């Protein structure tokens, strides 16, 4: 959106939804009617220091001056507590809560799932409820609009696969550790995933070859060559800090199997990228099948796609002959920012949940 439109929209806004990740911060703006007016994502490599989060807050204030107001409502969810800047998740939640509390005023609330909305001073005791709850916010928002569905949120780094049955989130686990065990969390995305984390062997020129366990290329290189990664979502440096061009991506893919780009044509490297895509899609599909199998009502349920990699969710829906719903459309977001809303779904979800939440201005002092 234009800066002029953003400034005009901010005059009617009453909620800012924040999703503070380890690599990005996503913020949504909604008015008192529940209409989403604007959505923005900023790169924020939190593992490099909290100063990156401070700079992102400055960018939020620059885009939406009303965010500085004492009565502005800020609803926050996070996954950034996982980065190795912090000794553990408890320290991470506390540090992020403190950093935001210093900048965002008194109407700052942290999404804590079943524990409700917590104020900053409850962040220390309630850190377990706040940590990595963004998937639950998105799923509960979807559950108000789709009775039976599988939410598939494929981002830059991770994939969430969340079952919704009878208008309820029925995930079998609530923590990252538990969700990794059930298949509801897959640590693969379409931008930052090292290719050696996708496959250890792959076909090239009719031969199955071993893959180098080196950070020579990332999933962004795949989807630059397939043409599916929108450059606006490609905001982090490449593996070699080099350009994000087709030629540079070919060179990085070649290194993964001990070759140089001139050893094959651009068309051949694009076909190679398609093989990587197929392997990543298969891995996500295997976990989707695991999650769906645990819930018989979801045998033919539609997929709800979210995240910058939702094009893979749409591909899975086609492969499995399922229906497909885009989160932005499902949430009723205007077309002008529906794509960004789907990409930044947890930030939209917490904004909408905060507007619907009756106890948002009377947060629980302690997590249950």
Name beta bridge partners: 212. none
Q: What 3-state class would DSSP assign to 7?
A: helix
Report the SS3 class of residue 73.
strand
Q: Name residues whose C-beta falls within 8 Å of residue 258's C-beta, 6 or more positions apart in sequence.
A: 212
- Whether the pLDDT of residue 322 is over 50: the answer is yes
Rg (CA), the chain: 20
Q: b/e map of 24-33 (b: 16 or more CB within 10 Å)?
A: bbbbbbbbee
Contact call for residues 347 and 38 (beta carbons, < 8 A): no
Same fold, 3-135+332-356 and 146-330: yes
Count of H helices and E strands in the chain?
A: 13, 14
Q: Which CATH class is domain 146-330?
A: alpha beta
Beta bridge partners of 76: 18, 110
pLDDT at residue 33 in the model: 85
pTM confidence score: 0.89
Distances, alpha carbon 116 to alpha carbons 96, 123, 128, in Å: 18, 12, 12
In the DSSP assignment, the letter for residue 240 is: T
Give the pair of three-digit tokens for residue 93.
């939640």
pLDDT digits (tens, 9 = 90+) for 50-103: 999 999 999 999 999 999 998 899 999 999 999 999 999 999 999 999 999 999
Q: Would you state the structure tokens that stand for residue 336, as one six-digit string?
A: 């002008």
Local confidence band at 162 (pLDDT 50, 70, 90 cut-offs)? very high
The mean predicted confidence, pLDDT, of the chain is 92
Model confidence band, residue 7 (pLDDT cutoffs 50, 70, 90) = very low
- Tokens at residue 100, please? 């935001």
The CATH superfamily assigned to 3-135+332-356 is: ATPase, nucleotide binding domain (3.30.420.40)
Output the 3-class SS for 110-173: EECHHHCEECHHHCCCCHHHHCCCHHHHHHHHHHCCCCCEEEEEECCCCEEEEEEECCEECCCC
Tokens of 253: 């893919």
Whole-number pLDDT of residue 57: 97
In the predicted model, is pLDDT for residue 146 greater than 60?
A: yes
The structural domains of the chain, with segments of one domain joined by +, span 3-135+332-356, 146-330
Residues in a beta bridge with 204: 207
Beta strands 13-20 and 149-154, pairing class: unpaired
Residue 202 DSSP class: E
Q: What is the pLDDT of residue 168?
A: 97
């Amino acid at each position: 959106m234009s800066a002029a439109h953003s400034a005009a929209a901010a005059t009617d806004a009453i909620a800012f939804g924040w999703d503070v990740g380890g690599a990005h911060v996503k913020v949504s703006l909604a008015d008192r009617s529940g209409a989403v007016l604007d959505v923005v994502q900023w790169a924020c490599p939190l593992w490099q220091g909290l100063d990156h989060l401070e700079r992102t807050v400055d960018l939020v204030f620059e885009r939406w001056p009303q965010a500085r107001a004492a009565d502005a409502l800020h609803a926050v969810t996070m996954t950034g507590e996982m980065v190795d800047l912090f000794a553990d998740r408890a320290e991470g939640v506390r540090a992020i809560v403190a950093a935001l509390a210093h900048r965002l005023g008194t109407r700052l609330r942290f999404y804590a799932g079943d524990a409700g909305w917590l104020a900053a001073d409850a962040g220390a005791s309630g850190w377990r409820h706040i940590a990595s709850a963004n998937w639950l916010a998105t799923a509960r928002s979807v559950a108000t609009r789709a009775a039976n569905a599988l939410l598939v949120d494929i981002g830059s780094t991770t994939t969430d696969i969340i079952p919704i049955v009878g208008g309820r989130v029925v995930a079998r686990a609530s923590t990252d550790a538990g969700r990794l065990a059930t298949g509801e969390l897959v640590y693969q995305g379409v931008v930052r995933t090292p290719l050696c984390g996708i496959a250890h062997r792959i076909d090239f020129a009719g031969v199955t070859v071993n893959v180098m366990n080196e950070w020579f290329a990332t999933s962004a290189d795949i989807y630059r060559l397939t043409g599916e990664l929108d450059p606006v979502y490609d905001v982090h440096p490449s593996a070699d800090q080099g350009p994000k061009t087709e030629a540079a991506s070919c060179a990085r893919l070649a290194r993964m199997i001990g070759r140089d780009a001139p050893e094959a044509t651009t068309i051949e490297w694009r076909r190679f990228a398609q093989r990587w895509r197929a392997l990543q899609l298969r891995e996500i599909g295997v976990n989707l099948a695991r999650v769906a199998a645990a819930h018989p009502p979801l045998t033919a349920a539609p997929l709800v796609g979210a995240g910058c990699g939702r094009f893979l969710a749409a591909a899975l829906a086609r492969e499995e002959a399922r229906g497909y719903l885009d989160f932005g459309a499902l949430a009723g977001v205007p077309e002008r920012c529906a794509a960004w809303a789907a990409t930044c779904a947890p930030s939209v979800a917490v904004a909408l949940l905060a507007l619907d939440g009756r106890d948002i201005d009377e947060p629980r002092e302690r997590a249950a």
